[in-house]
Each structure stands twice: as C-alpha cells, then as structure tokens.
Amino acid sequence: MGTTGHTTGMAGEFHAMEILHRLGHQPALTLGNAKTIDILSKAPSGNVYEVSVKAIRGGGKWGIGMDDYSKSENLVFMLFWYKSFEDINTLPDVWIVPAQKAESIKKQWHNQYGIYLYKEHLHLLEPYKNAWQHLA
C-alpha cells in the first residue's frame, strides 16, 4: 500500500488492475493484510509476474520495505502519484520499476527503504515513467 493511507493504496491497486487488463494481461488481485504482492498477472506472452502497487497523494516517497530485491526477477513495482486525488479528471503519473532496478534507486527511510519523488531524485525515476515494457 502507499505511504498515505489505505484508500490511496486501494485506488492504486484497482487502477493497476484496469491498466493491466487494458494491456491484455490477466491480473488477479491478492488479498490479505501486510502483503508485498498486490497483483499476480499473466502477460500476453504467457509469462507470470508479481506486482507490488504503491500509491501516494501529493508527493513524498513510496515505502518498499527492507527486502533485498536484487534477485527478484518476477516482481515489478507500479508507483502511482496522485497529484490531485480528489479530482477524478486527473489521472495519476505512473512508473513501472522492476524490483531488481529498485535496488539501485531506493534510499533509506527510517527502518525501511523508499523510492523518493523529490526533485533531486526524479532523474532516477525517469527511465521508468510509463515504462509498460517492464510488465513481464
């Protein structure tokens, strides 16, 4: 879930499901508390992969936990930034970050790691903006 609440996280998960479906993937939402994997999906190619959805309002960072993702070949982070959550005419910005790549852009944040949206970190996110090709 996102760092700013259950509602934003759920909105992100359902938006991710819509995007994956529209791209011809076969997503399935996972259920449970404190889960890392939000969606299991099958790509049109037949490859199965996992999605961890993170959604924030306004700005800040997406918390990604303490795991070492360097060997996570089938995990992808879908990062949603709702600039104006209440405005339904404004879609969130989206970054698709393979978990292995998250290792190189994550920064320490209290007792976990985060991927930051601050100006000085935007260049790290640039290759992943709308990078749908990273979905399996």
* 77-87 pLDDT tens trace: 999 999 989 89
- pTM score, two decimals? 0.90
Where do the domains of the chain lie? 6-134
Q: Which H or E run contains 113?
A: strand 112-116
**Is 4 a residue whose pLDDT tops 50?**
no
At residue 120, the pLDDT reads 86
Strands (E), 9-105: 26-29, 39-42, 48-57, 61-65, 75-82, 93-98
DSSP state of 121: G
* 121-130 pLDDT tens trace: 889 999 999 9
- Collapsing DSSP states into helix, strand and coil, what is residue 17? helix
Mean pLDDT in residue range 91-110: 95
Q: Which two tokens stand for residue 90?
A: 């404004």
102: closest CA among 73, 134, 70, 132?
70
6-134 has CATH 3.40.50.300 classification? no
Mean pLDDT in residue range 7-34: 91
Average pLDDT score, the chain: 91
Mean pLDDT in residue range 42-62: 94
